[in-house]
Structure 1
Amino acid sequence: MAGGLFAVNRKWFWELGGYDPGLEIWGGEQYEISFKNLKRVAETWMDEYAEYIYQRRPEYRHLSTGDISSQKELRKHLKCKDFKWYMTEVAWDVPKYYPPVEPPPASWGEIRNVASNLCIDSKHGATGTELRLDTCVKDGSERTWSHEQLFTFGWREDIRPGEPLHTRKFCFDSISNNSPVTLYDCHGMKGNQQWSYRRDKTLFHPVSNSCIDCNPAEKKLFMNRCDPLSETQQWIFEHINMTILQKFNIYNNS
């Protein structure tokens, strides 16, 4: 939680050691008092789990922590249990929702429509942006910031703009049959943001029991009653991990 909103008994706050005086710039105090995540506090508190940080942020590995001997002495004085105990006994369900190592995606890259040979494009939009079709960048469309055609269908069963390790925090979202397909802030709770990429190449939306369709002439995307014979509802991901995709489909009985 944000450090400025943290409330704690003053006596207990100082007994815990207060803020680490070695955190010399703004930011990080919320981790120091709650989860303890940046390199200085990771090296003090997280034991072998600090390696997960370096795997995601390799640039942190060679940064200097400064002198943390007083912080390590504080941990010893407080008789703190190790971080593995915390992850096992207190935060045992965290890896389910926030895995320390990002699981591989089911599919990623451009999403090309079979009927039109056009690609889904999010135009680097934010919340509320309607997804559209456009000439695929790989087919010669001008490579400018006006196009965003790389997407990742990841382990949360949502679709996000960006490559697997660098996705934006917006997800494909739709409400009901006939509604447009938009970007919305990812919430990780499935619902309107859960998708299934099926063997018939349709992008199925369980909540509305419908599939992504398109009007190539108007370059519009919308939800429609699923018709596996309709090529306007057939989509081809550039890359597919069939093993992961099959697990998704078996789980969703599709």
Structure 2
Amino acid sequence: MLLKCIRLKKIYARCIFILIIIVCLVIITSQFLPKDNQNNSYKHSKVSNNLSQIFEKKLRDYESRIIPNLGDNGEAAFLDGKDARDGEKALKKFALNTVLSDRMPLNRKLRDPRNKKCKDFAYDPKLKASVIVIFYNELLSVVLRTVWSVILQTPGKLLEEIILVDDASTEESLKGLLDYYLETRLKEHRIKIVRIKHRLGLIRARLQGARIAQGDVLIFLDAHCEATVGWAEPLLSRIEEDRTAVLVPIIDVIEATNMAYSTNGDTTFQVGGFSWSGHFTWIDIQEEKDKNKLTPVKSPTMAGGLFAIERNFFWDIGSYDEQMDGWGGENLEMSFRIWQCGGRLETVPCSRVGHVFRDFHPYSFPDNKDTHGINTARLAHVWMDDYKRFFFMHQPGLENNPIVGDLTHRKQLRQKLRCKPFKWYLDNVYPEKFIPDENVFAWGQARTEFEMCLDDLQLGDDKVGPLGLYQCHPFLAMSQYFSISQKGELRKENTCAEVFNGYDVQLTACHGHQREQYWILFKNGSIYNPAVRKCLSSEGVDNGKGVKVEDCKDSVYQRWTFTNINNTV
């Protein structure tokens, strides 16, 4: 009996030991599985039989309404009757003709928009790409047209996968119906979906996609794009030559009204710049020798929606600032960081991708915060050194605001990567960028003896309007910040004062080659325009109205005092 009890105890002990081992194995294994609190599903869900029947009927109904060849070759497309009227309503609500998009084939054919000489390049890259597409409440047909264009225009040997990241969309069609479409219409293609349960915004959503990517190169696209023939090969080939090159295709316009694929020709394009207010701008190619090149061209910044980067370099150089919220500013932050920390940013003329440009955002951003302003304040503090003074003149409320968040890790990253100063970037990457208080004769407020100042009267970017007169602010605001440049321009950042009709003075784009934009600041304070032989005058000008030029005379109305005068220039 005693021996029997001993044997039973040994058996129980072994069982307990085996049970402990099993529990440990389960715990260890679970560490390598996707965690639920990551809010991600890396494959589209299998659809149940009942739902399959419902989705199949919906898709067949949808497919039956598609008009074959509509919009082929990128031609403008039009509908008739009720569809046309519904499309106009949709355009006002969604900034996109959603009715037309739904009637157009998802795999529509596009003409080859490249310069003909691009065909002479023999690209044979060995790298493979993970194409990452973020969407939030985007129209299903637009998302699928993006996917189809990547599949049709990318050689299979170069496409590792397409990763769709759903940033917590609430539109039902982007859930089970999208899964079912991929499962039944695109099942032969490597497509993953990352489902995020709580909206993260563009920046963090892109990071979620990048973390699961397996390709040698990450290519980020917006969810309303169409790739064209030969778009991927020059991107991958250039990165194969230089892993630190970050590349942008030429971004053509897909019209939101009629879905036409529009270009500025096959030889004309621009590269990226920026404004001191922290916005991306388009600028002409910087050097004359680059203007007819079909090989990659230097670009100071990128728009941010479409670019290719070697996957390991993306992480090595700091990926994205994960504390940036929502959308905005991340493109300039990455642009400055790439250049200052040892990389290159280039536009590739033989790679072209269409992009739907909307007149307004049809959806809101989290908490309705100014995420662009906050994110740009973060990049200004980390990357722009003392030149951040210009950004904070546009956004003074953000300069010392705790809403900008902790910057410790990004500043540590800059030190770790031994990045160059922003002055180096301006001198070597963007030397033509106008700096309002460097290499100028005068800058600041231009004040009359009656406490009135020159003012842009809140003139919008890329607009033409009067050079105004307004009561001087007690602080130096950007609306009253003017400079007399070395070229004799009376200018703001991108606009210069020009005489029209012999007496009106307008702020218009600086061009540097017409004498109407040439001014001389005399020691007595008069601002003289030799082209019309007249002086800038405030006489008879009401608050908030435009100044003019008049015959020069010894008058208090023609004397202007700048805040700062540089006697060494």
Q: Which runs of 5+ in 2 are unaligned?
A: 1-300, 338-374, 473-478
Find the aligned partners of 2:495 and 2:517 in 1 and give their Cα distance: 10
1:236 aligns with 2:556: no
Find the aligned partners of 2:390 and 2:456 in 1 and give their Cα distance: 30
| Secondary structure class of the residue paired with 1:8 | strand
Residues 20 and 184 of structure 1, relative CA distance in 2, 3 Å threshold: same
Say which of 172, 182, 192 aligns to 2:497: 172
Say which of 176, 181, 199 aligns to 2:505: 181
Q: RMSD between aligned alpha carbons?
A: 5.2
CA contact (8 A) 1:173 1:181 kept: yes
Residues 212 and 132 of structure 1, relative CA distance in 2, 3 Å threshold: farther
Find the aligned partners of 2:319 and 2:481 in 1 and give their Cα distance: 41
Matched pairs, number: 209
Q: Which residue of 1 aligns with 2:534?
A: 211
Find the aligned partners of 2:380 and 2:334 in 1 and give their Cα distance: 12
Say which of 54, 59, 65 aligns to 2:406: 65
Q: One-letter code of the match for 2:559?
A: I
Residues 223 and 27 of structure 1, relative CA distance in 2, 3 Å threshold: same
Q: Which residue of 2 aligns with 1:195?
A: 519
- Displacement of 1:6 in angstroms is 4.1
Q: Which residue of 1 aligns with 2:330?
A: 29
Q: Which residue of 2 aligns with 1:124?
A: 457
Q: Which residue of 1 aligns with 2:188?
A: none
1:50 aligns with 2:385: yes
CA contact (8 A) 2:465 2:506 kept: yes
TM score, norm. by length of structure 2: 0.28
Q: One-letter code of the match for 1:154?
A: S
Residues 203 and 104 of structure 1, relative CA distance in 2, 3 Å threshold: closer
CA contact (8 A) 2:482 2:490 kept: yes
- Displacement of 1:42 in angstroms is 5.8
Find the aligned partners of 1:198 and 1:22 in 2 and give their Cα distance: 50
CA contact (8 A) 1:130 1:181 kept: yes
| Secondary structure class of the residue paired with 1:35 | helix
Q: Which runs of 5+ in 1 are unaligned?
A: 139-149, 161-166, 249-254
Find the aligned partners of 1:200 and 1:74 in 2 and give their Cα distance: 48
Higher RCO, 1 vs 2 (CA within 8 Å, ≥6 residues apart): 1
1:142-181 → structure 2 map (5 Å cutoff): 151-156=480-485, 157-159=488-490, 171-175=496-500, 178-181=502-505
Residues 210 and 10 of structure 1, relative CA distance in 2, 3 Å threshold: same
Find the aligned partners of 1:38 and 1:211 in 2 and give their Cα distance: 42
Q: One-letter code of the match for 1:65?
A: D
Q: Which residue of 1 aligns with 2:420?
A: 83
- Displacement of 1:15 in angstroms is 5.3
Q: Which residue of 1 aligns with 2:350?
A: none
CA contact (8 A) 2:455 2:480 kept: no
Find the aligned partners of 1:213 and 1:120 in 2 and give their Cα distance: 12
Q: Cα deviations across residues 82-107 of structure 1 (Å, max 9, x unaligned)?
A: 324x744x642557845497679457
CA contact (8 A) 1:107 1:237 kept: no
Q: Cα deviations across residues 151-202 of structure 1 (Å, max 9, x unaligned)?
A: 5552535446xxxxxx797542225x725212225x4858544421224654
TM score, norm. by length of structure 1: 0.52
Residues 74 and 152 of structure 1, relative CA distance in 2, 3 Å threshold: closer
Q: Which residue of 2 aligns with 1:144?
A: none
CA contact (8 A) 1:3 1:33 kept: no
Find the aligned partners of 1:223 and 1:100 in 2 and give their Cα distance: 24
- Report the identity percentage: 17
Q: One-letter code of the match for 1:174?
A: V
- Name the structure with the higher helix share: 2
| Secondary structure class of the residue paired with 1:212 | strand
